[in-house]
Amino acid sequence: LREPGLNLRVVQLFRDPRAVHNSRLKARQALLRESVQVLRSRHRAEPRGSTRHQQQHLLLPPGLLGGGRAPQPQHRAEFFLGGALEVICQAWLRDLLLARRAPGWLRRRYTQLRYEDLVREPRAELRRLLRFAGLTVPPALEDFVLNMTRGAAYSSDRPFLISARDAREAVHAWRERLSRQQVRQVEAACGEAMSILAYPLSGS
């Protein structure tokens, strides 16, 4: 970031962890390998002798690890997805705290974007991001971002389909898909990061 030959800017995208978990559950098999890699990254980063990896993941169904046994085959994907989201939220929290304490030169080159803000105000957020990057806003790009977030429908069964859709429906789709227990578990694992990002908890 301080390299004089570069004009590097960082835009960090966040999304409500409950919505992230909902999307990842719907694509659980496709994300299985990625989730295992995320979990391995945490174990590599832990100090030797740490007992943290022995703790049960917050995002697991009750009884999934009964007796210390490995997860049953039918729950294997959920096991890794839940653990991976917990690692992701911990990484978010480290980034958010770093940004809060960052010196001025870093704050000038770093900004955050919430998916929900982009969906609700696509033109305003696009202008803000391009202004931050020192770029102009071509009218065709404004039309594109509005079209991609204001499509005629939203298919919740295909969360990673790149097409024009009513993305505003995606903001709260997790409310209809996740159980109360799943919501509480995500909020327990990601609550600190959610608080900094101004995502209200379900009980508030």
SS3 17: helix
- List, for residues 130-139, the tens digit of each pLDDT value: 999 999 988 8
* Residue 108, pLDDT above cutoff 50: yes
Residue 80 confidence class, pLDDT cut points 50, 70, 90? low
In a domain, 3, yes or no: no
Is residue 60 domain-resident?
yes
Least confident of 53-67, 108-122, 145-159: 53-67
Q: Tens digits of per-residue pLDDT, 33-71?
A: 665 666 677 655 555 444 444 344 445 444 333 344 555
Tell me the backbone φ, ψ of residue 54, rounded to 5 degrees.
-85, -10
Give the Cα separation of 28 and 5 in Å (integer). Answer: 42
Q: When comparing pLDDT for 85 and 100, which is higher?
A: 100
In a domain, 76, yes or no: yes
What's the structural domain count of the chain? 1
In a domain, 129, yes or no: yes
Contact in structure between 125 and 141 (CB atoms under 8 Å): no
Question: Nearest 5 degrees, angle CA 9-CA 15-CA 16?
Answer: 150
Query: Taking the CA of residue 91 as centre, how many other CA atoms within 13 Å lie in the half-sphere pointing to its CB?
Result: 16
25, part of any domain: yes
Comparing 180 with 48, the larger pLDDT belongs to 180
Count of beta carbons in the 10 Å neighbourhood of residue 182: 19
CA distance 33 to 51: 24
Q: How confident is the model at residue 30 (pLDDT cuts 50, 70, 90)?
A: low
Beta strand spans in the chain (E): 10-14, 110-114
In a domain, 4, yes or no: no
Domain hosting 172: range is 10-197
* Under 8 Å between Cβ of 59 and 83: yes
Assess contact for 83 and 94: CB atoms under 8 A: no
Residue 119 makes CB contacts below 8 A (sequence gap 6+) with 149, 167, 168, 170, 171
Q: Which amino acid is at 95?
A: D
Q: How far apart are the first and last CA of the chain?
A: 39
Q: Does residue 203 lie in a domain region?
A: no
pTM of the predicted model as reported, rounded to 2 decimal places? 0.75
Give me the sign of the Cα torsion angle 27, 67, 189, 61. Answer: positive
What confidence score (pLDDT) does residue 51 get? 44
Query: Does residue 21 form part of some domain?
Result: yes
Least confident of 4-8, 119-123, 144-148, 158-162: 158-162
